[in-house]
Amino acid sequence: MTQVTGARDIESPAVASATREVGSPADAVGEVPVGERIRRLRLERGMSQSELAAGRLSKGFISQIESGRSRPSPESLRFIALRLGVPLVALLPGLELAQQQAFLLRAAEAAVKAREAVEAETLLEEVRPLLSAPAELSWFHRLCGELFIQRDQLVEALDEALLAFEQVSSGDAGDEAVRACNLVGRIHHLAGRQPAALLYFDRAAALATHQSVTPAVRALVHSNRGNAHMRLGDTGHAVRAYEQARSAAEDAEDLWQLAVAHTGLGEAARQRGDLPSAIAHAERAVTLFERIEMRELQAQILHNLGHVYADSGDLQSARRFQDQALAAARAMNNSMIAGYSLERLAALEVAEGNVEAALESARTAIESARHCGDNALLSISYAALGEAYEAAGDLQACDDAFTDARRMAQTASPMEMRQILLREGAMRRRRQDFEGAAGCFEAAATISA
């Protein structure tokens, strides 16, 4: 199993953090009669304070905003603007142009991170005519790229990311330059182009050495570098990148990035066979994700922990963690995590001699992989199906499943191909097909090199 989070975006999705980092634009909102404007627009529409709050905000909070006793964040203000049916900029009278730009971009970023595409697009359309500075234009194109990623339109996302980087690549290094370069790398990573991804991640890391770049952004880049190295099968460089990410996250006091770094370190330790370290890092990640209420990522790490316990021979603990991960994934309708857990449960069923249960879990894992379009998961799920057929004595079906596993691994990454070859080699050795087993192991060794 590959690290579940490795092939995914590791930008923090926590909307709360985006809205807390508003700075002066949010403060400036309190210096203009935003509350009075909201009250007048509300009354013009015949809405009560409770109706405006709509269960998302409280009536008391609306009252405090209208009386000037509270200053709304971009997240709250864009929700109020949506309820009133007006552009967000209509609620920002008296703000200087630069403050309007920053406020709208912050609000758009919050909407992107909340995966509220329609609101994000509306805000970006409002702010685009106001932008002229390179850093602002870079921010704008980066957010457009993020939206395209969410739609799985990677070609369009790459175009926007390159535009974002072009705006700031010739200027002084700063957070926006690093984020733009990092975005280009992430898109290559998502598309399976790991050497290209690593090129941009390394470039972003070089930019991140500038003293103006914040530790949280450095942590983000180094975690992505670690993921790319893992995909290329280079755990040594991956560990060094994850350690840099952990150090930067500790400097930033960023629990999200710290959890991501521990996740990477745990998976790298498992790949090296250092199971005690793998368990320690994974348990630390679970605790951190629980503290920041990131249930999806907590489920991913529960799955990783189950994998580690299986490697250590503790099948009972492995099953317990995989069952927990599967239950959490199904509660969130997350096909990817469910599929990875089912693939591991199929392997556990084979180990315990439960052939029918193994076949059912493997087939369901394949369905999940197809649903979420994850070729890495699809390749290892076919391998699990092959192992289940082998246990059932259907050797032709076993061979067919491994043929499908190899085919899908070609569109995944070297890590998956190596894993499929090792599993097929083990299968052929059990059949005493020593020549076939040797061919698989030799091919896997070549990929590792």
All domains in the chain, ordered by first residue:
1-114 (1.10.260.40)
> Mean per-residue pLDDT for 260-274?
93
Q: Given the structure tokens 């990131």, which residue do they identify?
A: 294
* Residue 143 in this model has a pLDDT that exceeds 90: yes
> Mean per-residue pLDDT for 239-260?
95
Looking at residue 9, its pLDDT comes to 46
Looking at residue 7, its pLDDT comes to 35
pLDDT band of residue 448 (cuts 50, 70, 90) is low
> Mean per-residue pLDDT for 114-118?
83
The Cα–Cα gap between 168 and 224 comes to: 20
As given in the structure block, the two tokens for residue 402 are 């491994």
The Cα–Cα gap between 121 and 126 comes to: 9
pLDDT band of residue 13 (cuts 50, 70, 90) is very low
pLDDT band of residue 94 (cuts 50, 70, 90) is low
Looking at residue 96, its pLDDT comes to 63
* Residue 112 in this model has a pLDDT that exceeds 80: yes
Q: Is the pTM above the cut of 0.85?
A: no
Judged by average pLDDT, the poorest of 71-85, 118-132, 241-255 is: 71-85
Residue type, 101: Q
Looking at residue 29, its pLDDT comes to 43
Judged by average pLDDT, the poorest of 36-45, 206-215, 286-295 is: 286-295
* Residue 28 in this model has a pLDDT that exceeds 60: no
* Per-residue pLDDT reduced to its tens digit, 349-364: 999 999 999 999 999 9
Q: What is the mean pLDDT of the chain?
A: 86
As given in the structure block, the two tokens for residue 129 are 């005519």
Buried b or exposed e, range 288-322, using 16+ CB within 10 angstroms? bbeebebebbbbbbbbbbbbbbbebebeebbbebb
> Mean per-residue pLDDT for 270-278?
91
Looking at residue 411, its pLDDT comes to 85
Looking at residue 387, its pLDDT comes to 97
Looking at residue 95, its pLDDT comes to 58
Looking at residue 19, its pLDDT comes to 32
The Cα–Cα gap between 398 and 195 comes to: 33
Judged by average pLDDT, the poorest of 84-93, 150-159, 366-375, 399-408 is: 84-93
